Structure 1
Amino acid sequence: MDKTVPELAEELDINKLRIYRYIKKNNIKPVRTDKNVQYFDDKSSNAILSHFRDVAGNRVSQDTESDTKSDTTETALIELKDNIISRQDREIKQLYKQVESLQRTIDQQNKQFDQQQQLELESIRTFKKNIMIDSEYHPDTESDTHDTSNDTKSDTVDTRGGIKKSGLFAWLKRSNK
């Protein structure tokens, strides 16, 4: 029974263009042509079928071999990807620890800065308070803005010389005794 190219392609489960190329390449002549449909006798049909079955058989073994190579390559790529991911995870954890450490340092420095500001403010308050106390206990003392060019030498002599100093430092010195 004569077969057409579409029938052969369906039987082999391949594209009919492959069969047409094989026929043209090997100069296989159809037994008859009816309305642009080529019919091949049993001898030609069997030659075409056996060729593509052999090729398919070889391809199956080659496909299995290439699948094995492909699986090996794919496994290697997966391992490489996993290694890269684990390395990046380690780097991320290390960077996270560094960020935490830097944040603790910043927090500690902010706390120290706040303490310094509070101490400075308390120092200024104490200084102002002492100035007020000094001016209350020594109303005869002049303010710090008076002209010192007319001051006598006795103002610069310390308390060991018998002359008492006036002012904030003198008061602090007397209060410490």
Structure 2
Amino acid sequence: MLRRVPFHARNGFTTIEALIAAVVFLVGLVGLLGALVQARSATGQARRLMQATDIANDLAEQIQLWDFTDQRLGASDPLCADDPLDKDHKLLDPTSGDYDTYLECMHGEETIMMLGPEKFGGLRTPSFTDESGVETKFSRFYIVRLQDVRLGVRRMQIWVKVLYTEAGEQRVVTTQAMRIQMGGV
């Protein structure tokens, strides 16, 4: 007569339990990978914004070094000088009719390098390449508004704008500087 050995539960996982655990792990891993991709994208956006801000600050610092009577500091067209912050967002829509008009009323690369690259101590080529080899080109512009405050005092307000394209959309960074001339107006 055959004797049956009683069944004892063994420690460990069954195949079904192991498969369920693997599926749960993979679902969590997919969610983590999605978060990593978003974080990388956000880091790239932040890097380009910082680069644009650095370029704007570099140009503003260079303009501060120019003599008050430097020919590159001529007053801008009233279209730009009256709306230096571009409150209507003309620069964000390259397809609008105002885009080109607004660009033309600002001082650009031609004016910046008017005296030759050797006379400009700042960043000469405003473009950067990231670690994956993608190059971002930045365009620099500035607006100058001159005002006689009172007899012998002249104020120069300067708005520096840096344009770049990210994910097919136009982006603009603006910084401002001010200079005062006293006495020799």
TM range (shorter): 0.3 to 0.5
Q: Which has the higher contact order (CA 8 A, sep 6+)?
A: 2
The structure with more radius of gyration: 1
Q: Which has the higher strand share?
A: 2
